[in-house]
Amino acid sequence: MRLRYRRRRDAVIAALAESLPAATIRGIAAGLHVTVELPDTVDEAAVAARARSRGIALATMSDYRIGGGHPPTLILGYSQMTESRLRAGVRELAATIRG
């Protein structure tokens, strides 16, 4: 089970590096999600709304924080998807962010 999740995490990170090279992945190599810090010029709420309208499920750090002052950050879960679907989802998310 642990190896399966590790492969999924690796797939997400590789897809993010390819599709969103300006993004910074934060967190440790454990858990079932990654946090993706976007450039300050990106509107986190607008990205989340557009992504959700395209069927991409995600959360933002603003969903869990009070107040501003933090960079736009997305939370992407990877436990329920195959590696190929994760890669496709990240490409779709990147297209959503680019707008």
Q: Which domains does the chain have, with CATH numbers?
A: 2-98 (3.90.1150.10)
- pLDDT tens digits for range 36-64: 999 999 999 999 999 999 999 999 999 99
Q: Please return the burial class of 75, using the count of CB atoms within 10 Å of its CB with bins 0-12, 13-18 and 19+.
A: middle
Categorize the per-residue pLDDT at 24 as very low, low, confident or very high, splitting at 50, 70 and 90. very high
Q: Are 59 and 75 in contact (CB under 8 A)?
A: yes
Predicted pLDDT at 31: 83
pTM over 0.95: no
Closest CA relative to residue 95, chosen from 15, 35, 9, 40:
15
Element housing 60 (H / E): strand 59-60
Q: Is the pLDDT of residue 66 over 90?
A: no
Categorize the per-residue pLDDT at 1 as very low, low, confident or very high, splitting at 50, 70 and 90. confident
Angle 81-9-80 (CA atoms, 0-180°, nearest 5)? Answer: 20
Q: Is the pLDDT of residue 18 over 90?
A: yes
Distance between CA 21 and CA 53 in Å, rounded? 23
Q: Which two tokens stand for residue 3?
A: 């190896």
